[in-house]
Amino acid sequence: MLEHKDHFHGSDLEKIEVAMGIKKEEIVSFSANVNPLGLSEELKSFLSERLDVITSYPDREYTKLRKAIGNYIHCDPEHIIVGNGATELISLFLGALKPKKALLIGPTYSEYEREISLSGGIVHYYFTKEEQNFQLDMADFLLEAKKDYDLVILCNPNNPTSTTLTRKELSLLLSELDRQNCCLMVDETYVEFVEDEASVSAVSLVNEFDNLMVLRGTSKFFAAPGLRLGYGITGSSRILSLIKEYKNPWTINSIAELAGCFLFQDQTFMKATRELMEKERDFVLRELSAIKGLTVFPTTCNFVLVKIEKEGKDADMLFEYCIKKKMMIRNCSSFPTLDNRYFRICFMKHEDNLALIKAIKEAMN
Ligand SMILES: Cc1ncc(COP(=O)(O)O)c(C=O)c1O
């Protein structure tokens, strides 16, 4: 029996390799939330012909890269800062801002709490309710947010609940927070998977509000977690210069700098990803909803949260059943308010989704 007390994250394939004796290359990760299309052949040959960039330092200002991102998200490159994944920017932003008291909407990604605690701040959670499909009740949340917080953080779409807030709701929230000198950090790591991205993304709001920091990356949508390329967008020159004070130079290497310039204009890849996701999301949701004993929460992005309601079955058992078949799901019991009845899976290629659905059906019987 697998000791599941330490939870396996989406990137913990090495731990699985040791614990289960399965080669990590053979595991299909339904837990990492990474686009299953992988890198395009065009990107691979573009990079392989230019490997010599390693012999030079990247541009300290990353001017070309920021311009490519600016074109991609329709935003002034002066409002953009690049980082070593969204992770470096979460850390830099929170380290620079040093919030005394931050409000997080839970259950959510654990890095925010860790970073705030490291910089000496206090974290409070506002937990969304399962009865409301974990969707935020904005009116009720505003009552809490009006208290003496100096930072609110939200993940949109949220990991692991996949709930989203609209740009309109974010605008309302920003106006309220602005009045009390409170900043908002929005992690948009998964936003490109949402069909109507423009109605959800906060990026265009940086022109209206200077208490806003939006973070994004290339790990999930562009299938490049090993590249370590993320970016932040803010209209606040104060926040930008604070972050720049803390930031080490050249944390994005020359390959990531180059790859970024290619990725952000690769319309073919973006279109193929959106088509695959739409199809597979519909397919997996339909199949999962038909399995007795499962509650499938709504999703608009590339992953879904599921609750096991059947007596005698739980996510520990399901994890073990699936990993033996070289498929890794995310047991969600490490998220506050969730327990080992909840698991999360992302949508992969059709044949992999078929295999996982089959395994879940067997395990639930
Ligand atoms: C919500 C969220 N933000 C940020 C990250 C990390 O992103 P990056 O690889 O760009 O550092 C993850 C990774 O799982 C995530 O789920």
- Ligand 1 centroid–CA 87 distance in Å is 6
Q: Do residue 290 and residue 198 come from a single domain? A: no
Question: Is the bond preceding residue 36 a cis peptide, omega within 30 degrees?
Answer: no
Residue 114's identity, in one-letter code, is: R
Answer whether residue 10 shows pLDDT above 90: no
Residue 55 belongs to domain spanning: 50-265
Helices (H), ranges, the chain: 13-20, 41-48, 63-73, 85-97, 111-118, 138-145, 167-179, 237-246, 254-263, 267-289, 315-324, 350-364
CA distance 127 to 200: 21
Tell me which H or E stretch contains 231: strand 230-234
Q: Are residues 257 and 275 in the same domain?
A: no
pLDDT of residue 14: 85
- Is residue 2 included in any domain, yes or no? no
CA angle 237, 83, 255 (to 5 degrees): 135
Residue 108 is classified by DSSP as: -
With a pLDDT cut of 70, the percent of the chain lying above it is 97
- Nearest CA-CA partner of 308 in 347, 358, 360: 360
- Judge if 22 and 130 occupy the same domain: no
Same domain, 232 and 334: no
* Cβ of residue 109 lying under 6 Å from some atom of ligand 1: yes
Which H or E element spans position 328? strand 327-328
Ligand 1 centroid, distance to 301 Cα (angstroms): 14
**Does pLDDT of 2 surpass 80?**
no
Assess whether 360 and 278 both reside in one domain. Answer: yes
Q: Domain boundary residue among 226, 247, 265? A: 265
Assess if residue 41 is contained within a domain.
Answer: no
CA of 291 to the centre of ligand 1 (A): 30
List, for residues 151-203, the tens digit of each pLDDT value. 999 999 999 999 999 999 999 999 999 999 999 999 999 999 999 999 999 99
Judge if 253 and 349 occupy the same domain. Answer: no
Q: Does residue 44 lie in a domain region? A: no
Phi-psi region at 316: left, alpha or beta (left = phi > 0; alpha = psi -120 to 50):
alpha
Distance separating alpha carbons of residues 20 and 27, to the nearest angstrom? 11
CATH of the domain at 323: 3.90.1150.10
The answer to whether position 36 is within a domain reads: no
194 and 90 in one domain?
yes
CA of 233 from ligand 1 middle (Å) equals 16
Q: Of 265, 280, 305, which residue constitutes the final position of a domain?
A: 265
Model confidence pLDDT, tens digit, residues 340-349: 999 999 999 9
pLDDT tens-digit series, residues 115-151: 999 999 999 999 999 999 999 999 999 999 999 999 9
pLDDT of 236 > 90? The answer is yes
Q: Give the CA angle between residues 340, 342, 344 to the nearest 5°.
A: 125
φ, ψ for residue 14 (rounded to 5)? Answer: -65, -40
**pLDDT > 60? residue 95:** yes
Give yes or no for residue 232 CB within 6 A of ligand 1: no
23-63 pLDDT tens trace: 999 999 999 999 999 999 999 999 999 999 999 999 999 99
Q: Which of 265, 285, 308 is the last residue of a domain?
A: 265
Is there a single domain that holds both residue 360 and residue 272? yes
Within a 10 A sphere around the Cβ of 364, how many other Cβ atoms? 16
**Average pLDDT of the residues in 288-301:** 97
Ligand 1 atom nearest the C-alpha of 155 is: 1
Is residue 305 in a domain?
yes
Spatial separation of the C-alpha atoms in residues 140 and 129, rounded to whole Å: 12
Q: In this structure, what are the phi and psi dihedrals at residue 363, rounded to the nearest 5 degrees?
A: -65, -30
Q: How many structural domains compose the chain?
A: 2
- DSSP designation for 233: E
Same-domain status, 250 and 306: no
33: left (phi over 0), alpha (psi -120 to 50) or beta: left
| Same domain, residue pair 242 and 277 | no
38 within some domain: no
Task: Quote the pTM value.
Answer: 0.96
Residue 244 lies in a domain: yes
Q: Please tell me the predicted confidence (pLDDT) of residue 295.
A: 98
Distance between CA atoms of residues 167 and 197, nearest Å: 9
Burial of 343 from C-beta contacts in 10 A (0-12 / 13-18 / 19+) = buried
- Residue 322 CA, ligand 1 centroid: distance in Å: 24
User: Does residue 282 share a domain with residue 260?
Assistant: no
**Which residue minimizes the CA distance to atom 3 of ligand 1?**
189
Residue 139's CATH number: 3.40.640.10
Ligand 1 atom 7, closest CA: 86
In 99-147, which residue ranges form alpha helices assigned H by DSSP?
111-118, 138-145
Asked if the structure places residue 294 within a domain, the reply is yes
> What band does 15 get if pLDDT is binned at 50, 70 and 90?
confident
Looking at the structure, tell me whether residues 333 and 311 fall in a common domain. Answer: yes
